[in-house]
Amino acid sequence: MKEKIEEIKERLDSVLDAVTTLKELNDVKVKYLGKKGFITELTSNMKDLSVEERKEVGRLSNEIRNYANETINKLEEKLNEELLNQKLANETIDISLPSYKIEEGTPNILEKLVEEIESVCMSMGYDVVDGPEIEEDKYNFELLNIPKGHPARDAQDTFYIEDENILLRSQTSPVQARTMLEAKGEKPIRIICPGKTYRRDNDDATHSHQFMQIEGLLVDKEVSLSDLKGTFDVILKSVFGDSIETRFRPSYYQFTEPSVETDISCFACKGKGCSLCKNTGWITVAGAGIVHPNVLRDCGYDPSIWTGFAFGFGAERLAMLKYGIDDIRTFYNTDLREAKTFDRREQD
């Protein structure tokens, strides 16, 4: 047995000496250590041996198995290393070649404008709040002084879901009601709420069935229209520059009294009259007003103590004016080239 093992060992050594590739090495491995390999076969007829012999054969074949494994693994490592070195020597890297071009995205122009307004409002103590897009009729209309059957509802062609009480909000104003109810009529409020709104409009250059509004609400004591005017001056100048002026025109909203339409002086013609301002020198940018006492009361605020103002911007309209975009659908396509144009326009 001992001689047999010695002979296998010598044969293995000389075979391994001649091995130059991993493939050859693997063949040797199978031949010696595989299921029917020379070393495995050493223990194949153990059952015919005595206990003593079995012990001896077991020990010796273990020794040769360990030896074979070790030498084969060492050689495998060596061959792998040689292969790697060969590869590295053959490969040359031209470090002067340009690297992959990664197409960079650009911030969404609408999102950017909203963030700008958020940040100027936050600097005046406003919180940015969220509200649900799937809304109850109660918040979208009733608590805003627009009862069922009121003609003011017709102006906002609403998407109803399931029944007449659940809808896609047609304005961000329901967040006013939610916020006041949550505050339980006890503390002043300053919030803005940017968010998506929905109306059954046919999409064209100036209409979209889904668009974005930025709602604002301030509730406190002795709030007046001049507070609203001052606030608008700050917000709108931050968007359109310090040279613009703002003005109020009387208007009508069910949830404010008095209500106003807010205009800015045309930044394109400086008030002289051009196609952007339709030769009026002014551009309308928001609806606003003093919160109607009914709304305050229904939302838990005593109108004899509290007053407030509210406003609503159309975010796309602001962005269209600011960036000279003439089609609202531009915001909702995914053309990166267009997004980049706006980015460039802003840097100019």
Contact residues toward ligand DAH (CB under 6 A) are 171, 173, 215, 253, 256, 287-289, 310-312
Cβ at position 326, least distance to ligand DAH in Å = 22
Instruction: Say which residue the tokens 């006492």 belong to.
Output: 293
Instruction: Decide whether 141 or 342 has the Cβ nearer to ligand DAH.
Output: 141
Closest to ligand DAH by CB, 252 vs 332, is 252
Minimal distance, residue 289 CB to ligand DAH, in Å: 5
Q: What is the identity of the amino acid at 107? A: P
Give ∠ CA 149-198-108 in degrees, rounded to 5: 160
SS3 335: coil
**Based on CB atoms, which residue is closest to ligand DAH, 61 or 208?**
208
Cβ-based nearer residue to ligand DAH, 312 or 325: 312
Helices 336-347 & 315-323 angle (0-180, nearest 10)? 60
As measured in angstroms, the least distance from the Cβ of 239 to ligand DAH is: 17
Alpha-carbon 285 to chain mean position: 28
DSSP-derived secondary structure letter, 154: G
Nearest approach, Cβ of residue 217 and ligand DAH (Å) = 7
The H-or-E segment that residue 136 falls in is strand 134-136
By beta-carbon proximity to ligand DAH, the closer residue of 61 and 176 is: 176
Considering the complex, state which of residue 12 and residue 319 has its C-beta at the smaller distance from ligand DAH.
319
Tokens encoding 49: 């041996």
Quote the least distance from Cβ 261 to ligand DAH, whole Å: 9
For CA atoms 317, 323, 324, 325, give the dihedral sign.
negative
d(CA 246, CA 238): 12
Q: How far apart are CA 174 and CA 193, in angstroms?
A: 10
- Closest approach, Cβ 155 to ligand DAH, in A, equals 8
Q: Which two tokens stand for residue 299?
A: 């939302």
Pairing of strands 307-314, 210-220: antiparallel
Measured CA to CA, the distance from residue 122 to residue 145 in angstroms comes to 28
Residue position matching structure tokens 């009862």: 147
CB of 158 or CB of 173, closer to ligand DAH: 173
Q: What is the DSSP letter of 188?
A: -
Residue 244 beta carbon to ligand DAH: minimum distance, rounded to whole angstroms = 20
Are 164 and 282 in contact by the 8 Å Cβ rule? The answer is: no
Q: What's the min distance (Å) between Cβ of 291 and ligand DAH?
A: 7
Q: How far apart are CA 139 and CA 180, in angstroms?
A: 11
Q: Which is nearer to ligand DAH, 145 or 265 (CB)?
A: 145
Please give the DSSP secondary-structure letter assigned to residue 201: P
Q: What's the longest Cα–Cα distance across the chain?
A: 117
Measured from the CB atom, the residue of 8 and 114 that comes closer to ligand DAH is 114
Smallest gap from Cβ 199 to ligand DAH, in A, equals 9
Residue among 75 and 180 whose Cβ is closer to ligand DAH: 180
Question: How many angstroms separate the CA atoms of 298 and 292, rounded?
Answer: 10
Task: Give least dist CB 310 to ligand DAH, A.
Answer: 4
Q: How far apart are CA 279 and CA 263, in angstroms?
A: 14
Position of minimal CB gap to ligand DAH: 312
